[in-house]
Structure 1
């Protein structure tokens, strides 16, 4: 483990580190196989939509003031909570109407509203009978599945050993919210405006969930915990919401458009590179690098892998770390998915929760 941020620790070649980097490459290959790029002709529609979106967001002032793009959601009060028992454990499943809609006139709005499964938000809920601090855990890409999320976030440890109320929401186009989607419709994916609307709705849904928590308990200590794509969403929420004690960003994305361009698997001469270039203003508008975090510096925490092949350490993580005022950061010796087996990361997350005041020392 290394806590320096300005210099990424040297990844000395070892069999274990090579194995983790290779595992990341397998994950990337899987993404490309199961999420292949559409025919070039499809990008004519995508590019036209991106051009229209840049013009629309510019006219609305969102490109100059990205915070204004994110509408403030109404407080959440009507939810359905059902008990669940699985694997000998008891917890709850929370369901509510998202209520999110793209702005009138936004390109891609009608298509997005046609994704019916996204209209409902789902979350797993582990809570105590007495008032406790709350931790909202925001998952990464291809997650949003109950057992997987509970495992990767070590949710039972957070709930039982550390005494927290833990909530795990499902991001748009994931888990049960992916039912009935057209082939190739994913988040993140090649359809830029779908990515824009998915990001906006994810931020909206998490903020509504925070409002519901505040309605359950007066002035509850609240924090965010996140992984990968979830780190991207959590960093945006932390730049829009007041009153959060901490945001723990694990292997976080800071510029989604740049990340997709890096991993698109297209050559430098491929005309589809035009899409990435056209979408750069949208990527900046939706980046936490364009917003100011509202959480105090002592409540900001980041961890990342020095051999990460998915979220580039310098292009993504270091830029966010610097923008966030160089908060406490831990570099673990592993790839993107290696955080789960990293004892230093586990200790770092627990210590962060203590430092933020969510867990007693």
Structure 2
């Protein structure tokens, strides 16, 4: 019995071998006529314009699928002991979240953002020689899980995660300008890549925008140097919920800082995990100039279920854990909130 349990939690060789072919297959399936028509009907019901198929759309979907394939290749499922810990934390969290009223009123789980009072701005010197005026905005993230909540002590132990950060391109004049706040995806947060993905140079130098790119929790400099035991998004349910909650809080604090700079307008754009974060923020913040979600995740429990090995996915124990995870994730799900920003923006 023990061997069987271990076998179910270790990576299946077939899962890794098929990761890349499966990513290509799912990308193609996404644009198949039947899938496209189904998405179009969803957009119509929501009174939203349905995006037409394009090479850019194919590239974006493929990039997202390749990231998921990369997880299969580089990350192993939790061990038996880890699964037992996760299950116990989830069971305790369900009781606690119900008692606190967070499941009934997800907004009450989120605390109000504040303007960082210890924010510092320093030039990124390695880019100055290339004519790019990148700066780094840093401040202390004031978000921590409620003391005593399942997984709270572990999340608070990620010391490098306490320091929030954002890359910034800002004009030196005091002229009111549009601020484009851009939120990266999973395993991103690196200036070299993110400025290309979001076309930051064009936004700043051609369109005259100030650019701010916040760094999400447990990414890049906010991740432990050895990266052991940490990562986000993650199958570790409470870490994932805490990561999403802190992501929304840190981005909202960044928006509060931007508001102090007297912008002419502010937009929020996110890619993948960043798109999820942007959508969540849109449900918590006052209306923004625009909110754009690029290939956003919308349901992490379902994403995790799809990426779980078949031997585990259809077990009764995993089904129970999935349902409990789905309920807990409702407090950090964009689908639990009505966006404050009008859809036409």
Q: TM-score normalised by the shorter chain: which range applies?
A: 0.7 to 0.9
Contact 2:180–2:267 under 8 Å retained in 1: yes
| 2:147 is the alignment partner of 1:104 | yes
2:138 is paired with a residue whose SS is strand
Aligned to 1:282: 328
The CA distance in 2 between the partners of 1:20 and 1:109, in whole Å, is 34
Deviation at 1:169, TM superposition (A): 0.6
Counterpart for residue 66 of structure 1: 106
The match for 1:229 is 273
1:89 match: 132
Q: Which residue of 1 aligns with 2:304?
A: 260
**Partner residue in 2 for 1:46:** 86
Give a deviation string over 1:179-206, Cα, whole Å, max 9, x none: 3465242110111100011111111101
CA distance in 2 between counterparts of 1:237 and 1:16 reads: 25
Are 1:241 and 2:285 an aligned pair? yes
Indicate how the Cα distance of structure 1 residues 25 and 265 shifts in structure 2: closer, same or farther if over 3 A, else same. Answer: farther
| Post-superposition CA distance 1:202-232 (Å, at most 9, x none) | 1110111111111121x64111011011011
- The 8 Å contact of residues 43 and 272 in structure 1, kept in 2 or not, is answered as no
**Is the Cα contact below 8 Å between 2:178 and 2:209 reproduced in 1?**
yes
1:258–1:283 contact (8 Å) kept in structure 2: no
Bigger RCO of structures 1 and 2 (CA < 8 A, at least 6 apart): 1
Task: Say which one has the larger Rg.
Answer: 2
Aligned to 1:348: none
Shift of 1:122: 1.1
Would the aligned equivalents of 1:240 and 1:293 in 2 still touch at CA under 8 Å?
yes
- How far residue 16 of structure 1 moved from its aligned partner, in angstroms, is 11
* Residue pair 1:135, 1:166 contacting (<8 A) in 2 also: yes
Q: Alpha-carbon deviation of 1:265?
A: 2.9
Q: TM-score, normalised by structure 1?
A: 0.75
For 2:77, what is the secondary structure of its paired residue? Answer: coil
1:254 Cα deviation from its structure 2 partner: 1.2
Q: Which structure has greater helix proportion? A: 2
Give the aligned partner of residue 320 of structure 1. none
Instruction: Look up the SS of the partner of 1:143 in the other structure.
Output: coil
Corresponding residue number in structure 1 for 2:7: none
Aligned mates of 1:273, 1:41 — CA distance in 2: 18
Q: What does residue range 1-361 of structure 1 map to in structure 2 within 5 Å?
A: 5-6=40-41, 26-85=66-125, 86=127, 87-128=130-171, 129=173, 130-180=175-225, 183-217=228-262, 220-267=264-311, 268-270=313-315, 271-299=317-345
Which runs of 5 or more structure 1 residues have no equivalent in the other structure?
300-361
For residues 118 and 102 of structure 1, the distance between their equivalents in structure 2, rounded to whole angstroms, comes to 13
Query: Over residues 249-283 of structure 1, what are the superposed CA-to-partner deviations in whole Å (9 max), with x where a residue is unaligned?
Result: 10011111111111223434444444322211012
Q: Which ranges in structure 2 are unaligned for 5 or more consecutive residues? A: 1-30, 44-49
2:58 and 2:266 mapped to 1: Cα distance? 38
- How far apart are the structure 2 equivalents of 1:58 and 1:165? 42
Query: Kindly tell me: are residues 181 and 58 of structure 1, through their superposed partners in 2, closer, same or farther at Cα, counting changes over 3 Å?
Result: farther
Counterparts of 1:18 and 1:133 in 2: how far apart (Å)?
Answer: 29
1:66 deviates by 0.6
Q: Which segment is superposed worse, 254-263 or 113-122? A: 254-263
Q: 2-side partners of 1:16 and 1:78: how far apart?
A: 40
